[in-house]
Amino acid sequence: MAPILAVTDLERAFYSEIYETRETSSERRTPSVSVRGPRAFVSARTAQCKTATGRRRQVRTYAYKSVYGVERIASMTEPALLHLDGPATMNRLDEIRKVYATAFPGNSVEDHQWRTSRQANSPGFETVIAQLDGRIIGFVYGLPLAAGSGWWNGLTPDPGDGFTAETGTRTFAVIDLAVLPDHRGQGLGRRLMDELLRGRHEDRATLATDPAETDNQAMYDRWGWRPAGQVPGGEHETSAAFDLYVIALRSDPDATSSSR
């Protein structure tokens, strides 16, 4: 559900207006009814509001009727999704690192800094950040596997000829996906992933999960990713072993097949 923000006087006035509008108009006459997810939105408007700290902010306010029959009003600012190349990622690495440290509390931020600095200098590296009020609240990034990449080294079971052959343009590796806890469960993780992969030109994408992260694995499974096997973890990596996943980005049905 959308986060319900602190209600300012201006927003309160807007809410009353919506309530009045709703009370005097039938569901049929409401012009912008559309059903998205579990809620029926009845109205939406962007307004300038002042936050508790006095900053001006554009707020998109939605009135909706929940499936449970309880009318509620929520106001939220939609996070913007922004693409960053390697140098732009390096410029915002301090902010990204803070989100990383919160999302992966058991991992070393020094190792993350070391890895990401190297990766961001590689051709084709790309990040998508979710930004709200100028603050990064989530990110995903990755890079194409170079010819001769060690990504698949030690893969078991043996996937068969050709599966691990990289050309620099065949496979995009998603390295990290993270959303701050307060913003989870609203589809942002999925949006970040979709936004990153939507513009990629590679045939397929891959990612690595800690074998103990069964919730994440189930999530990737629901998102269409398929297990490709397990590899051992290396120095500066976050797990002793990784379960690798793949997904086809093109219509080519062989993109994730081991017989390619």
Ligand X SMILES: CC(C)(COP(=O)(O)OP(=O)(O)OC[C@H]1O[C@@H](n2cnc3c(N)ncnc32)[C@H](O)[C@@H]1OP(=O)(O)O)[C@@H](O)C(=O)NCCC(=O)NCCS
List interacting residues with ligand X (CB under 6 A): 103-104, 177-179, 184-190, 209, 213, 216, 219, 222
d(CA 209, CA 207): 7
Nearer Cβ to ligand X, position 21 or 238?
238
- Rounded Cα distance, 119 and 114, in Å: 9
| Residue nearest ligand X, CB atom distance | 189
Cβ atoms of 84 and 138 closer than 8 Å: no
**Least Å from the CB of residue 233 to ligand X:** 13
Shortest reach from residue 234's CB to ligand X, in Å: 17
Q: Which is nearer to ligand X, 110 or 213 (CB)?
A: 213
Structure tokens at 37: 């997810």
- In this structure, the strands spanning 226-232 and 241-248 are antiparallel
Strand partners, 205: 172, 247
Backbone angles phi, psi at 192, to 5 degrees: -60, -50
Nearest to ligand X of 64, 242 (CB atom): 242
* Tokens 């306010």 sit on residue: 61
| Residues 160 and 257: beta-carbon distance below 8 Å | no
Q: Are strands 204-209 and 171-179 parallel, antiparallel or unpaired?
A: parallel
Residue placing its CB nearer to ligand X in the complex, 54 or 181: 181
Nearer to ligand X, 195 or 254 (CB): 195
Q: How far is the CB of 190 from ligand X (least distance, A)?
A: 3
Shortest spacing between CB 79 and ligand X, in angstroms? 10
Nearest distance, CB of residue 231 and ligand X, angstroms: 15
